[in-house]
Chain A
Amino acid sequence: QKEVEQNSGPLSVPEGAIASLNCTYSDRVSQSFFWYRQYSGKSPELIMSIYSNGDKEDGRFTAQLNKASQYVSLLIRDSQPSDSATYLCAAALIIQGAQKLVFGQGTRLTINP
């Protein structure tokens, strides 16, 4: 099993709807998780981090962590065309006192006007 797995998509959602992105992880990684947004030809941009079981909300974004089921999700409410991008789930792998990130392959999201 890969350490972090995502459905590559593409995921297509109508404008104004809720986009739901999911990610599962293995026992090897720690309990720190991050969602990055990556526009085509650009570098990853951090949008959410979550460390505790449950939900964390920031504007239109909600990250959810379920440690028992080993999954983390990102919900985008009121989806806008500008949300169209690849979303990367990352988990921290603690090595020698520092966390390196292990990424999933990313889910490509398209918001249709």
Chain B
Amino acid sequence: GAGVSQTPSNKVTEKGKYVELRCDPISGHTALYWYRQSLGQGPEFLIYFQGTGAADDSGLPNDRFFAVRPEGSVSTLKIQRTERGDSAVYLCASSLSGHNEQFFGPGTRLTVL
């Protein structure tokens, strides 16, 4: 079956701009996670959704970052006033529930110039 999909695969933007990154989880998966991965590091947790609600947003670095999942399926990660330090690969993962194995999408590589 179809895996997790993410769009766009690459996003180049200028410092100060607003970006949206989209994630479409595996069908039927209620849990959705966003992670961020910098070069040479493991992924770092950003936010977790169970259904439509953000159950844990403790990993969001500051209030420029926000994510939604209005219908309990597709999620959008929104970054305002982007900074060069936001450049990374943003990974989305989903699982059947909050206690199962997580499967990652292909990621969005964000570059802030």
Contacts and interface: CB of A to CB of B under 8 A. Distances in A.
Contacts of B33: 100-101
> Could you tell me the dominant secondary structure of chain A's interface residues?
strand
Contacts, number: 63
A8 B56 CA distance: 29
A101 B95 CA distance: 12
Contacts of B31: 98
Nearest to B40: A105
A101 B102 contact: yes
Nearest to A93: B45
B71 interface: no
A98 B43 contact: no
Interface string A69-113: 000000000000000000010100001111111111110000000
B63 interface: no
Most buried by B among A36, A44, A49, A96: A44
Contact of A44 (B48, B59, B98, B104): B104
Contacts of B98: 97-99
A100 to B, nearest CB: 5
Given A103-B43, A104-B42, A105-B42, A95 B56 contact: yes
A102 B42 CA distance: 8
Contacts of B99: 98-99
Contacts of A46: 101-104
B50 A98 contact: yes
Interface residues of A, number: 24
A100 B45 contact: yes
Nearest to B93: A101
Contact of A49 (B42, B101, B107): B101
Nearest to A99: B99
Interface string A43-74: 11110010000000000000000000000000
Interface of B: 31, 33, 35, 40-45, 48, 50, 55-56, 58-59, 89, 91, 93, 98-99, 101-107
